[in-house]
Amino acid sequence: MAVLYPDVVFDSIPGDSPVLNGSLPDTVKIDQANYRKFTLTPIVRRDVPNLLGIKQGDRYTVIYSPMDITSGFLDTQTCGINGYAPDTAQNLARDILIYAASKAPAGSGSGAVAASTAPATVNPAPQPAPPATPARPSRRPKKP
């Protein structure tokens, strides 16, 4: 990240942020982080997960977790993966995606705006024309 954002410092995302406070529709308040049983890195248990973010204006445009989130999706017990337990990982992923799709500010969440449920207005890329079908040879015998 230092290469992409050399002059930016990641800030710790506080528990009252819409990313974690459950103020957006279909999100839950994440006020406790459970870690994988085989996490090898010593972790100072905190009130909220260890998420870091970069703000642009009043929103987080980059959200980074030093602990693995994706392995928790599979609910496997892989040794040596330093990350969140499945319940925390799944809640974090869902809430981060809903936050990214919403217009919620990064600050305290009482004035959060819900994610739009309107269909996307992105125009699809033009599709190439189907390949020309070669003419099939006639299967009828030619008349003598």
pLDDT digits (tens, 9 = 90+) for 48-69: 788 999 988 889 989 999 889 9
The mean pLDDT of 68-95, rounded to a whole number, is 87
Predicted model pTM: 0.67
- State the pLDDT at residue 119: 44
Please say whether the beta carbons of 19 and 27 come within 8 A.
Answer: no
Which pairs from 69-72 meet CB under 8 Å and 24+ separation? 69/93, 71/36, 72/36
- State the pLDDT at residue 113: 40
